[in-house]
Structure formats: C-alpha cells, structure tokens
Amino acid sequence: MLSELLFSLHRSFFPFNVFRYITVRAAVGALTAFLLCCIFMPAWIRYVRRRHMGQVVRKDGPSTHRKKEGTPTMGGLVGMGAAVVCILLWARPQSHLVWLSLFAIIWFGGIGLTDDLLKFTRHSSGGLSMSAKLLWQSLGAFALISVYAVFEPWGFEHASLISLPFLKNPIYWGFAAYLFLAALVIVGTTNAVNLSDGLDGLAAGCCTFAAAGLGIYAYLAGNRQFSSYLHIFYVPEAGELAVICGILVGVCLGILWFNSYPADVFMGDVGALGLGGILGTLAVFIKAEVVLAIFGGVFVAEALSVLFQVASFRFWGRRIFRMAPLHHHFELRGVPETKVIVRFWIFSILLIIAMLSTLKLR
C-alpha cells in the first residue's frame, strides 16, 4: 500500500515512478523485511530469555545438541510479522493472490505458534500431535486452493493444469485430483521445511535460496513475453508474487542473521511452518509445483529420509540412516554441524541454478 502512495507522487516528482516496477518493490521489500528483523529480533530474544521460553532439545537427538537446551526460540514470529507488514507495504492490494498469500502466512504460522506455545507450557519437545497438525494444515491448503480456483480468471480447467519440466504442453488433472495434489504440495512443503529446521541456519538458508528461485520463476511467469518464450504458464498477477518472494528472501536473511551457527535464537515451528506454507502456496499459484520440488530438493531429501526410515524400521526392523532427518545422519557420522549446513546450502544453490538453466529445454 505504501508503494501505491509513493507511485502516486510521480506526477509531482518523476523518480517516484520506479515504484511501479516489480523488481524495485521486491528489492525494497527484501531490505525492509531484513531491517525489521534486525530491529525487533534482539528485543524478542531478550523477552524470551526473561520468560525462560527456551528450546527443549530432543532426548534422542545427537549429544552435541544438548548445549542448545534453553536457547531462545520462536524467532520466526518476528520474521512472519515482518513478512506481513512488508507485503502490506510493498505488494499491490488489488491482487487477490496477495491476500491469499497473507492468509497462508498467518494460517500456517499460527499453527506453528500454537505448537510452540504448547511445547513451552508442557516443558517438552512435543506440542500439537501430528494428526492435529496435518488436519489444520490440510484445511488451510484446501481453503486456499478452492478460493484460488474460484477467482482464477480462466476457470477451473486452467486452475487444474500442471506444468512439468522439459514438456511444452501442460497436463490436465481435473479439479478434484488437482485439489488433492496441490494440497499435498502445500502440506508437504510445510512439514518438509519444519523437518529441515534441526541445525542452526539450515532451514533459513535453504528457504532463502528457494524463495529467490521462486521469485525469478514468478517474475518470468508474470511477463507475457518471457512466459511465451519459455513455454511456461502465464499468470497475470505473478509479478506481485515475485514481490512477496523478494520479501521472503529478506525475512529469511533477517532470521539467518541471528539463527546462524551458533544460533542466538531458533525459528521455532511458527517460522518453519510459516515459511514452508507460503513457499508451497506460492508454487501452486504460479504453477511451479514440480519446480518447487527441485528448488527445494534439500527439503524433499529431508522428508524422504524420514519416510524411508520409518517404513524400513516398521516393515524390516532395520534403519537405513543412523538417524532421520538426513542432517542428523551426517552429524552422527562425524561431519561437523557447520559443514553439514554449508554443504546443504551449496546443494540447494546448485539445484536452483540447474533448474533455471534448463527452463528453455522443452
């Protein structure tokens, strides 16, 4: 909304015309979000310490994590607040996708906040049950996709199309099938990011890169010429989602400033579920469901390691990994935590570069 006000001043002072550009608003939004996190996070850390709202470490986790017991948590609440404020400031309110994105941040972040508060009141690492989390996440995902399809200017049939890498023509699933697939993308991304939030800065760093990759993709999808040339979906309002992706980059960097090793504060589920929920939602809106699986390859690997570990132990009584999620496996093999984090970041960057470099190959 601030961008609208500033742009309206261009008649009196022409340089304000820059606020009509998506790239400018995305960059300014990123800087604003980063600064808000840097300004308010120290106060939040002091508040959490006074209230003794420290992290409760899993008893079955790596022994090196015991020293993290009591570290201030729920820093993601500052990040999600900064994201909401910056979206209201720099994204154009005329777009219904902007408001749906705001709903996604608040809804999934709210689930995470409830989980964090239950952990604090119970003084344990267990908050909401997994079934309760999945129920509320699924309800939010179905609501988002249903409203998105209703307001889709080209109808339910277009909303039900899925684009696959290396294929020019999209695949039509039918709305019922697409509804469940898109919900799976949102819920799966939400929990995959949460599973990755087990080392200092790991999830925040990977979310930074994933948001940047989605921002580039959203910008291309929102430009009729670029989308036509690359044979990707043209989404008229995707440009505003690119602004939101830029804001998320700033939020993640702001969180990472305090969450990098050794962490001064943890994101908590409010940050991990909030970031995962909005990334999955944005991918659905810009028709990048499969692309997100590549951009967020680290999250996919973390989630699959848990699924394979559980299935292997249940059916064969054996573990595939020393511990799941995957980052704990490498820790128990003697790889230092900082090296695991940076290598996962590198892997995430390489996946995004590889995906973007092959967009024209269809």
Query: What does the alpha-carbon distance between residue 106 and residue 16 come to, in Å, rounded to a whole number?
Result: 31
Average pLDDT along the chain: 87
Query: What does the alpha-carbon distance between residue 73 and residue 171 come to, in Å, rounded to a whole number?
Result: 43
Instruction: Name the pLDDT band for 63 (thresholds 50, 70, 90).
Output: low
Instruction: Name the pLDDT band for 183 (thresholds 50, 70, 90).
Output: very high
* Residue 174 pLDDT: 77
Q: What is the pLDDT of residues 280-309, one digit of tens each?
A: 999 999 999 989 999 999 999 999 999 999
| 171 vs 132, residue with greater confidence | 132
* Residue 3 pLDDT: 54
Query: What does the alpha-carbon distance between residue 250 and residue 28 come to, in Å, rounded to a whole number?
Result: 9
Whether the ω angle into residue 325 lies within 30 degrees of 0, i.e. cis, is yes
* Residue 59 pLDDT: 60
User: What b-and-e string marks burial along 213-227, b requiring 16 or more CB atoms within 10 Å of the CB?
Assistant: bbbbbbbbbbbeeeb
| 220 vs 170, residue with greater confidence | 220
Is a pLDDT exceeding 80 seen at residue 56? no
Task: Over range 245-273, report the average pLDDT.
Answer: 95
Instruction: Name the pLDDT band for 19 (thresholds 50, 70, 90).
Output: low
What are 171's strand-pairing partners?
Answer: 162
- Residue 52: what residue type? H
Q: What is the pLDDT of residues 38-49, one digit of tens each?
A: 999 999 999 998
Q: How large a percentage of the chain has pLDDT more than 90?
A: 54
Is a pLDDT exceeding 50 seen at residue 9? no
CA gyration radius for the chain?
Answer: 20
- Residue 264: what residue type? D
* Residue 7 pLDDT: 45
Burial of 276 (0-12, 13-18, 19+ CB in 10 A): buried
Instruction: Name the pLDDT band for 99 (thresholds 50, 70, 90).
Output: very high
* Residue 5 pLDDT: 52
Least confident of 50-59, 169-178, 186-195, 260-269: 50-59
